[in-house]
Structure 1
Amino acid sequence: MPKLIPVSLLSLGLFTVTFAVNLQAPLYDAYAAESDVGATGVTVAFAAYVGGLMPTLLLLGGLSDRIGRRGPIALALILGTAATALLVQLPSWTSLIVARFLLGIGTGLATTAGTAYMTEILGSDRAKNAALIVTSATSLGFGGGALATGISLGVQGPTFLPASYIGLFVAAPVLAMIALGLPRVDKPRNVSLLRLPVFPSCTWRFGAAMALAWSTSGMTIAVIPLELAANDLGGWTGLVIFLAICVGFLCQPIARRMTNDRALALGFVLIPLGFVVLLAGVWLKVLAFVLLGTCITSAASYGFTYLASLAEVSLRAPDDRARATAGLLVYAYFGFSLPVIVSGALADMFGLLSAMLMFGAVQIIVTTIIVMTGKRASVSPVATLDAGIGTR
């Protein structure tokens, strides 16, 4: 079988797994209204995703080393389908929590297995291309689900069964069966089913950058829609979430031509800059600023920082790529969840805008600390995305 076929099918599977993750985002306010919960409730439900994902990364990040890559990817597709079906049958805040939990488990299984599988299909000498394909597929998936639901709601009107959900119900089971039929190019190892993540040496800055970048993405996905809805701009939620993720996809070819360290440094500049512009848009009620700020943060989070970090840990752990990916995602999803929950609680106490101002201030301080600490502690040689991955 030509490599293009399994690569394309694996990419489509990873896209669909992550497509399901934010599929319900434009309906957050509707689910919250059904159960009469405030901003804290919405952000807790949003972060329940990490409640499922984090134990999966911590305990099962190397599962595919034992049982093979295909099973975890197929299971992730089924979990995404089940989670979405639950929201259709019982649309409520409680169901949203359970659904997000299941989606977290699926993402943890698919991303760790998928990253290693893609590299094995293409060959370790093309690990840079494997990283680019995985980040592209997952970035488009994370953003595409929200956009698809936003468009569906715009066409259909208010409903708890948008056409985007139906599309997932049709595609995901078929792709799960296809995933089980993909060629087995990995060599399962006789290792423990429960395997902790690997944190390769000299990569803490990349992990910290992922935590910082994805905390901003989490704010954009979970909190900004609440502010848009409060200003009668809820119809723009799907587009905002799409831009928050998929602009980064467009920046990945640029990031690929930069060194890992330079891509990371650019990310450190763009993360606070983008959030300041976004915050100005919310404060002044100027939608154009909200969209521009979202694009800038996306370029940092899912463009320069994501690709550089994934490539770096893959480079430094060639024999444990699945577990190293799990380790990186532990950083990322810690940032993706905890600041969002805290901001939701602050929003209920002081208002959404005040909570965003506090987040922005902390973000700038933390960015400065990481950059200054990294400059003093960095002793590793510069690694490149374009050539270093395949030669070390």
Structure 2
Amino acid sequence: MFAVGYGANQFVPLLMVYRRTLGLSDAEATAVFGVYALGLIPGLIVGGQASDRYGRRRLMVVFAALSVLATAVLISGQWGIEGLYAGRFLTGVVSGTVFSIGTAWVKELSEGAAPGAGARRAALALTAGFAIGPLVAGFLAQWAPAPQVLSYLVHLVLAGVALVLLPRAPETRLTGVVPVRRMRLLTASAADPRFRGVVVPMAPWVFGSVTMVFTTLPAHAVPPGGVLGVAFPGVLAAVALAAGAAVQTWGRRLHVAAKRRGGAGAAALGLGGVAAGSLAAAFAAARPSLLAATVAALLLGVGYGVCLIVGLDEVEQLAAPNELGAVVALYYSLAYAGLAIPYLLALAAPHIGYPNALLITTGAAVLTLIVVHVNGRSQARARSAGRE
């Protein structure tokens, strides 16, 4: 999961290189980044449900191998945007499959550990890969030769190591032991009011928040030039994701405490971080500076970290054993729908400007916070009345 997360985000600082070398417009650059989501959704849904039926390990090995191919295709993107579209789409397919299978697998491998250990381990593995990938690729793109080739070679090595280690991991999904229903998008577990009222509205802000750090902030909240140059988008991404990793343990504890009292306080707090980060991003877009962009990245990263761990913990608690992979896949699909947020910003900005577009985004995050808080409280009251 770390290796594939690394491969998914190594592209972040290189996008600035491709803007220059291929002459990409703002909308084209955002679309190249976002086409990843078109591959993610089928990868998530099919991968999660297929692993429920056929086992975790064999599919994980196949798609870890395909991550090598995805990176090889991205290398060809230096000669044209078509290679970037194809490489990002294939990266999305691989990432969606590995994230859904891996999250379910880690949860099952964590049986007997402290409650929530599986969600925490999966979230940390992904977040570490997401953070270190752009950081390393950014420094290589800034100061190493042949950045459009060398930056990708690190991931090829990581994927090779993962392929050596994966066959040694124990299979947890023994086919035939637990009956699996026919593949479908919506499972019985996903019909739970808690999933619909809290997880569904919160999920798009998980990756919608940090994707603004990857695309919007480097292009519109940072002064041109600077000593770090191409490396700075990677630094911003690493700062946001390090903040997200740092708050996950605290965020889960808060979530557990909030659930005992009833409601969705941790989810609302995560959305509050997203709203604060969007507001800081609006300020940074109006008055670009390294400090303003870094503050916005930190706040958006905190929102990402809390929302991610809350969502994964909710999924672990709600999913039936024979639907775990499917429900994890659905959650990630909803979370990655947030990749549309920077693209919508790019479409709106030519008409109203990035500061105003980001202020509207802030308002949308606040509205979601209110919806999640109200739904969480009403469901807590309903459960309390049912016990009486």
Supply the AA of the counterpart residue of 2:369.
V
Contact 2:6 2:132 in 1 (8 A): yes
2:133 partner amino acid = G
Shift of 1:102: 0.9
Superposed CA deviations along residues 147-169 of structure 1, whole A, max 9, x for unmatched, are 0111212331562123x422221
C-alpha contact (below 8 Å) 1:32/1:93 kept by paired residues? no
2:143 and 2:19 map into 1 onto residues whose CA distance is: 22
For residue 72 of structure 1, the aligned residue among 45, 59, 62 is 59
Partner of 1:346: 348
Q: Pick one of 354, 360, 363 that aligns with 1:362.
A: 360
Offset at residue 228 of structure 1 (A): 5.8
Of residues 286, 290, 295 in structure 2, which corresponds to 1:287?
A: 290
- Aligned match of 1:264 in 264, 267, 271? 267
CA distance in 2, matches of 1:274, 1:101: 28
Q: Which residue number in structure 2 is paired with residue 297 of structure 1?
A: 300
CA distance in 2, matches of 1:136, 1:364: 27
Which residue in 2 is equivalent to 1:11?
Answer: none
Counterpart-to-counterpart distance in 1, 2:134 and 2:162: 20
1:1-392 equivalences under 5 Å are 14-91=1-78, 92-123=80-111, 126-156=114-144, 159-162=147-150, 164-189=151-176, 191=180, 194-198=183-187, 199-201=190-192, 202-204=194-196, 205-227=198-220, 231-233=224-226, 234=229, 235-259=231-255, 261-301=264-304, 303-319=305-321, 320-336=323-339, 338-347=340-349, 349-350=350-351, 354-358=353-357, 360-378=358-376, 379-381=378-380
**Alpha-carbon displacement from aligned partner over 1:215-255 (angstroms, at most 9, x marks no partner):** 22222212222236761243311100112222100111211
Q: Contact 1:63 / 1:193 at 8 angstroms: preserved in 2? A: no
TM-score (norm 2): 0.86
Unaligned runs of 5+ in 2: 257-263, 382-388
Supply the distance in 2 between the matched residues of 1:291 and 1:33 (Cα, whole angstroms).
23
- Equivalent pair of 1:200/1:317 in contact (CA under 8 Å): no
Q: Distance in 2 between matches of 1:192 and 1:376?
A: 33
3-state SS of 1:332 partner: helix
- 1:87 CA displacement: 2.3
Letter in 2 for 1:216: S
Q: Percent identity?
A: 21
Structure 1, 187-196 or 96-105: larger mean CA deviation:
187-196
Taking the aligned partners of 1:88 and 1:371, their CA distance within structure 2 comes to 41
CA drift of 1:183 comes to 1.5
Distance 2:66 2:181 in 1: 24
Tell me the number of residue pairs that the alignment of Structure 1 and Structure 2 aligns.
Answer: 362
Question: Residues 160-216 of structure 1, C-alpha deviation per residue, up to 9 Å, x if partnerless?
Answer: 123x42222122123123212321222224647744254251123223212124222
Structure-1 separation of matches of 2:330 and 2:36: 17
Does the 8 Å CA contact 1:77/1:175 hold for their aligned counterparts? yes
- 8 Å contact 1:39–1:345 — kept in the other structure? no
How much has 1:356 moved relative to structure 2?
A: 4.6
Contact map agreement 1:132 1:252 (CA 8 A) in 2: yes
* 1:268 Cα deviation after fit: 1.9
Runs of 4+ in 1 over 6 A off after TM superposition: none
Larger CA deviation: 214-223 vs 96-105: 214-223
TM-score, with normalisation over the residues of structure 1? 0.85
Tell whether the 8 Å contact from 1:211 to 1:333 is kept in structure 2 after alignment. Answer: yes
- Single out whichever of 366-375 and 254-263 deviates more from structure 2: 366-375
> By how many angstroms is 1:125 displaced?
6.2
Contact 2:205–2:307 (CA under 8 A) maintained in structure 1 = no
CA contact (8 A) 2:70 2:91 kept: yes
